[in-house]
Chain A
Amino acid sequence: MEPGLYHILFISAALFFIGVFGFFTRRNLITMLMSVELVLNSVNLNFIAFNKYLWPNKMDGLFFSIFVIAIAAAEAAVAIAIIINLYRSHQSIDVERTEQLKF
Chain B
Amino acid sequence: MSGSTIIFYMLAALTLVSGVLAVTTRQIFRAAIFLLFSLIGIAGLYFWMQYDFVAAVQIVVYVGGITVLIIFSIFLTQQAGDLLPKPTIGRQIFSALAAFCGFALTMLQLYQHKFIGTSEAPVLPTVSNIGDRMLSLGADGFALPFEVVSVLLLAAMIGCIVIALRSKPATS
- Using a CB–CB cutoff of 8 Å, the interface residues on chain A facing chain B are 1-3, 5-11, 13-22, 24-28, 30-31, 33-35, 37-38, 41, 44-45, 48-49, 51-59, 62-63, 65-67, 69-78, 80-85, 87-88, 93-94
Contact = CB atoms under 8 A, between A and B. Distances in A.
A74 B84 contact: no
Contact of B163 (A6, A9, A81): A81
Contacts of A5: 115
B46 A21 contact: no
B137 interface: no
- Which 6 residue pairs of A and B lie closest in terms of their CB atoms, listed nearest first? A22-B23, A56-B122, A24-B95, A74-B156, A54-B117, A57-B120
Given A18-B99, A81-B159, A30 B73 contact: yes
A77 B142 contact: no
A1 B1 CA distance: 8
Main secondary structure of the interface of A (DSSP, over half): helix
Interface in B79-104: 84-85, 87, 91-92, 94-96, 98-100, 102-103
Contact of A27 (B42, B85, B120, B134): B85
Contact of A62 (B9, B54, B110): B54
A17 B8 contact: no
Contact of A57 (B76, B78, B122, B157): B122
A25 B16 contact: no
Interface in B46-87: 46, 49-51, 53-54, 57-58, 61-62, 65-66, 69-70, 73-74, 76-78, 84-85, 87
Contacts of B134: 63
A74 B157 CA distance: 7
Interface in B16-65: 16, 19-20, 22-24, 28, 31-32, 35, 38-39, 42, 45-46, 49-51, 53-54, 57-58, 61-62, 65
B142 A63 contact: yes
Given A70-B153, A84-B73, A24 B107 contact: no
B172 interface: no
Contacts of B49: 8, 48-49, 52
B121 interface: yes
Contacts of A58: 123, 140
Given A18-B19, A48-B51, A76-B69, 9 more contacts: A3-B5, A24-B95, A38-B23, A44-B42, A56-B117, A77-B69, A77-B157, A78-B160, A81-B163
A73 to B, nearest CB: 5
Contact of A11 (B12, B22, B61): B12
